[in-house]
Each structure stands twice: as structure tokens, then as C-alpha cells.
Structure 1
């Protein structure tokens, strides 16, 4: 698997960047267009590199000063049907599916910590679905709420900020989590209060036995274990570009349902459910952040050696 680098290079750095990409074994399809870059003024240099080595390449480019004075864009081609690409991929250590481009992880973390209207709307809708799932004791609706919930990438952003000591990112992501859950819970609680006044929803509906959904407000040791597993899955998916819908479902199982139950309990004032839902939500978020930091740390320190060793062990090439 290749990634494409598009580099806007100031004239003063052009020769150094050219030497880096032209003389390296890890690059192919190197092109240089002199003087075509207007901002910054200089050259446009493009090349393709094996995904496994892309992170190292970007680090070298940034060490030359290109990250501060020029431009680095990374994209992923959908196909590379030529012999030089195959040889390049075969020489690269590890498997491209296991490759981690840390600059991409950091950029995704910053994107996931932005307080967009869409983010708040999706979380509010997910919380509302979870509340209805509580009323109807419907496992199907719980799954629907988990699909809609957008929060797992923000949890991973918190872990990323901690790992790289980017405390501004960490605080921004934490603020988004707290604010978005507070807004969603308040929104659903107000709807629940209105429904309680009209008789559509009652406290008895919330507190009665619910064999299909009782797990979302009964925190125990297994809740924390699930949160640890969910957090590990979330950051692994983020770092290896595998954040698909099923991972989103798995992560949200520990957060959105508890938020929906909490909102419903507040709106109908069912105290027996409030403390359990709060504990479940807090326990799950803290567990996911903890395991996320651990997994990212392991990836940062050992991932390249582990993937290279697995290639030798399983003869994947």
C-alpha cells in the first residue's frame, strides 16, 4: 500500500527535500515542478512512499523545516498497479494494514475535538434513542443509539493528547465530551419531563424490571473491563484507519445508553436510576481513556518492531 505526498517546498529547502526523496529506497514516482508554488514561493515536489515508512518520511521532512515553512499533504491512492510499487511495498517492514502514521492520528484527534453542531445533534439523537430503548426495554433500539453516537473518536482524542503531552488537545477533547453529554442529557431530560407531565412516560416505566437494558445503569467490575476493551479497540481503530461502523457500535455501548438512562431518570425524577447511570458513564469514559493511553503508548514504543517480527513469523511476504 502506498501513500502519496504532495510537498510545497520553499526555494531554500528545495534541494534538501529533493535529495531526501530522490536518493531514498522508500520513494518512487518522484516529480519536481520548479517555481510553480506561489504560497509558499518555491517548488512542488510529489512522490509515493510505502505506508509503513510514511511516518518516518514525514518526520524527516519536518526535521528539514518543511512542516513550518512549507506544506505537506498526505493522500491514499486507491490502486497502484505497477511493478515499482510492488517492489517498494515488499521492501518495507511489516504490513501496511498495521502501519501507523502518527501525524495523521494527531490530525484526526484535533478534528474529533471540534465542537461542531453536527456532533452535538448526533449525540443528542443517540441519547434520545437510548432513552426510548429504556422505556421499551428494546435491545434493538440500544443498538440504534450506539450506531448514531459519535463520541468514541473524541475519547481517542483525549488519549492521543495525553500520549503526546498536547494538553491543549486533551482539554479541548475533554471539554467537548463533558459539554456534549451535558447538552444531550439536558435535552432528553427536558423531553422526558414534558412526557412525564402528559403521562406518556412515567417513573414506573424507568424503574420497572428491564431484562434487556438493565445493564446500562448497573456498574460493576465487568463494566470497567468492557470499557477498557472498548477504549483499546477505539484507539487501535483510529490509529490504523479502521474506524468503521462496527467499532463505533462497540465503543458506544459503554457511553450513550448510560447517558440516555440518566436523562430519562432526571426527566421523570427516578433517583434510584440516577446515581447508577452517572457511575456507569463516568466509569466507562475513564476506563476507555485509560486503556486508550496504554494502547497508544505501546504502539508508539513497540509497534514497528512487533509488526516487523510478525512478518518474519508468519511469512506474510
Structure 2
């Protein structure tokens, strides 16, 4: 279940209460009159079955509560309540299959921002991948996959494309188009220093056959990317968020970027080119599969989700 809190103008409170009390998927309705200070108004709280959340939030947004006040959602890990059990049983569908569109847009919008934290994680991941290439360590390569934050913008591209949220598409595209080149330049610089100080040499890298899979582009590169994109979007649109870790360690986006930087330092332009191609294949495959999965999900509430711009905060 999700815990919902709505800050609403006093003249909308009765309408909000009516929506919540009439919906079978809502329980534990609480009213705090005059509790909201900025913006001023009443606070209404309730626990909502996940499969009913999109419908309830849509009704509140149709009243303009999101503009005049605000609606927030929080995941409930444990609910010991017969009333909550009845609400989940009464709500149509299964909670794991329900898509909360506003939650999805908010989450992908936040994770697609190009900021210092995103760039730092992506650069560190590329550096880890470069170390894995130099030391012939698949384990380090896997570590780089987990650290890489690139799935956020990739998921945002899919969500923005399906819902026609071009502001989200622009933000995600900028994060990827700037983030990866910057990370690769940083990795290139570190590799130059490492090469000149004798940390590694050409023969050492070319003998590292255990990590050759990073730049070896083939049909399975696309297949794995498609499967990872599908699994990732299913994870983000359901309650199965733990599956995202498997997505991170199944694609060679960050490792390919790191290998391209190392190959460029060594003058191995063929390997560098294949690594960049591997990166492109994985990026495109993930976005295409994620968008297809999202398009096939229940699209309730799409009209409401299309119009609201993302916060710049």
C-alpha cells in the first residue's frame, strides 16, 4: 500500500474526503483541519492500495489539488490492519501489476537530472571499468556496472517518449549526452597518467582476454540490452524494485565506455570503435525495450500525466 497526504484548500476538503471515502481501495482516512500552513489549508491523509492509487490521485488532480495544494505518496512497508487488507482485496487488479504514473514520472524525472552526483557516480563507474580492463578482472567490471547510474536517464527517455513528456526526454538525453563523454574524458586522462607511470602497458591490456566481452559486439549484445530494458521498466513500474540490481549487472554500458577510453590511450582504435558501438547498442536496446514494456502496461491516467511540466528543483 501507499500512504497519501493531500494538502488542500478548505473549500475542497469535503470533495477530497468524498473521493477517498467512496473508493473501496482507500482506508485509514484522517482529516487535520487547518493543519497546513504553507500553502494554507487542511491536511487529509489516507492509505491507498497500490492498484487504486493512480485512479485516486487522478481524481484529486482533476480537482486541482496538485496546483492549489499538494499530493505526496510514500511506500508502506508493513500495514497491520484488517481494513487495509479489505481495501487491497476490494481494489481491482494486483498491486504488483499496477502502474502509479505520477510516481513513475517523479522518480524518473529525479533520476535523470545531470548534476554533480550523477556525473561523479558515472565517472567513478567508468574509472572502475578501466581498472577492471587493465587488471583483467571481471569482478571489477561487474562492480562498475552496479555503480553506474545510467539506467535512470534511460528509463526517463522511455517514459518521456511513451507519455510524450518531451521535457523529460530532453533532460534525460542531456544527462546521457554530456555525462558519458565527460566520464570518458576523465577516464582517458587517468589512463594517460597510468600509462606514463607504468601502471599498465599495451601488452598487459591486450592479454586481458577475460574482459574481451566488453567490446565484442554481436546479436547477444542487443538481446541482453532488450531483456535488461524490459526487466528494468517492469521493476520501476511495479513493487519489484530489487530486480534493478540484476539490470545493472547485465549490460555493458559503463564497461564499454571505460574500455573505449583505455583503448584510445593505447592507440587501439578498432577496439575503441567496437567499445563505442557496444555502448550505443546497449543504450538503444535498453530504451527501446523499456518503452515497449511501458506502452503495453495499463495506461490509465495518461492524459493527466502528459500535461504537467517537471520541477526544475
- Work out whether residues 151 and 248 of structure 2, in 8 Å CA contact, stay in contact via their aligned partners in 1: no
Instruction: State the match for 2:52 in structure 1.
Output: 53
Q: Which residue of 1 aligns with 2:196?
A: 197
Contact 2:33 2:42 in 1 (8 A): yes
Aligned-partner SS, 2:66 = helix
Match of 1:169 in 2: 168
Contact 2:228 2:247 (C-alpha < 8 Å) held by counterparts = no
C-alpha distance in 1 between matches for 2:158 and 2:222: 17
- TM superposition shift of 1:272: 2.0
Give the equivalent residue in structure 2 for 1:88: 87
1:221 corresponds, among 219, 222, 230, to 219
Residue-by-residue CA offset, 1:203-241 (whole Å, 9 max, x unaligned) = 3333x2443211111211111111111111111111214
In structure 2, distance between residues paired with 1:230 and 1:103 = 23
Q: Check the 8 A contact 2:157/2:169 in 1, yes or no.
A: yes
Secondary structure of 2:99's aligned partner: coil
Query: TM (normalized to structure 1)?
Result: 0.89
Partner residue, 2:13: 14
CA contact (8 A) 1:153 1:234 kept: no
- Post-superposition shift, 1:151? 1.1
Alignment of 1:266-281 (within 5 A): 266-281=264-279
> Structure 2: where are the runs of 5+ without partners?
301-313
CA–CA distance in 1 between the matches of 2:112 and 2:163? 15
* Structural mapping, 1:233-248, within 5 Å: 233-244=231-242, 246-248=245-247
Question: How far off is 1:248 after superposition?
Answer: 4.6
Taking structure 2 as the reference length, the TM-score comes to: 0.90
**Deviates most, 115-124 or 174-183:** 115-124
Secondary structure at the aligned position of 1:78 is classed as coil
Distance 1:280 1:85 in 2: 48
Unaligned runs of 5+ in 1: 303-317
Determine if the alignment matches structure 1 residue 134 to structure 2 residue 100.
Answer: no
Give the whole-Å Cα distance in 2 for the aligned partners of 1:33 and 1:4.
15
Aligned partners of 1:26 and 1:49 also within 8 Å: yes
Superposed CA deviations along residues 244-279 of structure 1, whole A, max 9, x for unmatched, are: 36235335x320110110111122222121110111
Taking the TM superposition and a 5 Å limit, the aligned residue runs for 1:115-130 are 115-130=114-129
| CA deviations over 1:49-68 (Å, ceiling 9, x no partner) | 11111111101111111111
List per-residue Cα deviations over 1:16-48 (Å, max 9, x = no partner). 112111223222111222222222222111111
Residues 241 and 82 of structure 1, relative CA distance in 2, 3 Å threshold: closer
Contact 1:159–1:290 (Cα < 8 Å) also in 2: yes
Distance 2:64 2:158 in 1: 27
1:77 equivalent to 2:107? Answer no
Corresponding residue of 1:231: 229
Q: Is the 8 A contact 2:24 2:91 kept in 1?
A: no
Aligned length: 299
Secondary structure of the structure 1 residue equivalent to 2:297: helix
1:265 match: 263
**Is the 2:137–2:211 contact (alpha carbons within 8 Å) kept by the matching residues of 1?**
yes
